[in-house]
């Protein structure tokens, strides 16, 4: 990325080596070029996978939670 100016948003998705789906999004004001100053004004981390364990558990027998919540 040495000479490439980065403007607007930078997205890194997926982030490897963690369990789960993670993406990182940075947004910049103006432009940023390596070696010069730039301002990052916002960073968002986003989980990109939904399974809905709370909803799954509704109505199940409490002992089922033993099996289900192990897999969070």
31: three-class secondary structure by DSSP: strand
3-class state of residue 12 by DSSP? strand
How deeply is 1 buried, as exposed, middle or buried, from its count of CB atoms within 10 A (0-12, 13-18, 19+)?
Answer: exposed
One residue of 13, 29, 30, 31 binding other proteins per CB under 8 A:
13
Beta carbons of 39 and 29 less than 8 angstroms apart: yes
Kindly state whether residue 15 participates in binding other proteins, applying the rule CB under 8 A: yes
* Smallest distance, other proteins to C-beta of residue 43, A: 14
The answer to whether residue 40 forms part of the interface with other proteins (CB under 8 A) is no
Residues 19-38 touching other proteins, rule: CB under 8 A, are: 19-21, 23
Q: Would you say 37 or 52 has its CB closer to other proteins? A: 52
């Amino acid at each position: 990325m040495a000479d490439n100016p980065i403007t607007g948003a930078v997205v890194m998705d997926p982030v490897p080596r963690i369990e789960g789906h993670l993406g990182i999004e940075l947004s910049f004001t103006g432009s940023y070029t390596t070696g010069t100053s730039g301002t990052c004004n916002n960073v968002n981390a986003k989980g990109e996978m939904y399974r809905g364990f709370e909803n799954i558990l509704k109505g199940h027998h409490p002992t089922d939670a033993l099996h289900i919540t192990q897999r969070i």
